[in-house]
Amino acid sequence: MADKIRLLPEVVANQIAAGEVVNRPASVVKEMMENAIDAGAALVKVNFRDGGKDLIQIVDDGCGMSPIDARMAFDRHATSKIGAVEDIYALHTFGFRGEALASIAAVSQVELRTRQAGDEVGTETEINGGQFVAQNPVMCPVGSQFFVRNLFYNVPARRRFLDKSTTSASQIKAEFQRIALCNPQIAFELYANDAPVYTLQAGSLAGRIVDVVGRHIKQNLLEVEADTSIARIEGYIGRPAAAKKRNTEQYLFVNGRFFKSTYLTSAILKAYEKLIPESCQPSYFLYLTLDPGRI
């Protein structure tokens, strides 16, 4: 009987893996914004067209990449974040698996222009559907410019089931807000179909919250700060009088990452007990810091 088991081609494996990392345009924005922050960017610009299906553009002024790194960055499990399994338990970066760019490139047409501070010229790298197309020298500023075009163009079944452009735009905006709220020391810009949505200057956390959420919240923020044996907690909560029946101004972060926790949400509501009606929800922007090994 003939042997039946065979290795999948690398391109096919990356397309399958893409489903774990990239399930919508907002996933691409999140992964690539976090890469820009890991690269030490002081300014990150995001632009998208047609809800991200036509184009997602991420521009940063971070450290940039060498020509070799610009090519290797699209290989699966190629990463600058860890070198041994033990490093996973002391992470201070967002990405570490080296799968994001490979997965994104497997289901889109990607163009990267990047330059390091010490290089006279930069590098332009093109990847289409996971296949290397070309790499050439190019004039560009220090940092990286990613152009992700035609998301899921080579996986038509996935592309057909993408959310409507308006829904995708809202999801991208939500991811942008979460990352911007967690990094007030970095300037961010968001454009939808080349029209400005947010222009956020680097500044204080309170200022960033007001810039992202709106000026209505400025008078309702109460600063909180506490140290426990497990974690340091800081941030802002809303005054009880400002509680609303439907409240989207609720954010929890741990070591720079947004997360959701029914346990902590219940604890916060318990603190507001008898201060707000049972049908209302308070605003909160709480940041937990703890040893990465304990997460």
Residue entry with tokens 């922007």:
285
Mean pLDDT along residues 253-270: 94
Over 90: is that where the pLDDT of 183 sits?
A: yes
- Element at 233 (helix H, strand E): strand 232-238
Token digits of residue 46: 């995001």
pLDDT-wise least confident of 69-83, 105-119, 209-223, 279-293: 69-83
pLDDT at 82: 42
**Number of residues that make up the chain:** 295
Mean pLDDT along residues 259-277: 93
pLDDT at 96: 44
User: What span, in angstroms and rounded, lies between the C-alpha atoms of 101 and 38?
Assistant: 14
Instruction: Please check whether residue 70 is in contact with residue 105, taking contact to mean a CB–CB distance below 8 angstroms.
Output: no
pLDDT tens, residue by residue, 30-84: 999 999 999 999 999 999 999 999 999 999 999 999 999 999 889 865 555 445 5
In single-letter form, the type of residue at position 169 comes to A
pLDDT-wise least confident of 96-105, 154-163, 211-220, 278-287: 96-105
User: What number of CA atoms fall less than 13 Å from residue 53's CA on the CB side?
Assistant: 18
- Element at 38 (helix H, strand E): helix 25-38
**Ordered domains of the chain (ranges, CATH):** 10-200 (3.30.565.10), 216-294 (3.30.230.10)
Q: How confident is the model at residue 15 (pLDDT cuts 50, 70, 90)?
A: low
pLDDT at 107: 92
**Whole-number percent of the chain with pLDDT over 70:** 86
User: What span, in angstroms and rounded, lies between the C-alpha atoms of 286 and 226?
Assistant: 11
pLDDT tens, residue by residue, 135-177: 999 999 999 999 999 999 998 888 888 889 999 999 999 999 9
Mean pLDDT along residues 2-30: 73
User: What span, in angstroms and rounded, lies between the C-alpha atoms of 4 and 193?
Assistant: 48
Q: How far is C-alpha 255 from the geometric centre of its chain's CA atoms?
A: 14
Q: For residues 214 and 17, which has the higher predicted lDDT (pLDDT)?
A: 214
pTM score, two decimals? 0.86
pLDDT at 236: 97
Cα R_g (the chain), whole angstroms: 21
Over 90: is that where the pLDDT of 87 sits?
A: no
Instruction: Please check whether residue 149 is in contact with residue 158, taking contact to mean a CB–CB distance below 8 angstroms.
Output: no
What is the arrangement of strands in the sheet containing 143-149, beginning at the earlier edge strand?
131-138, 122-128, 109-115, 143-149, 55-60, 43-49, 187-192, 195-200
Over 80: is that where the pLDDT of 5 sits?
A: no
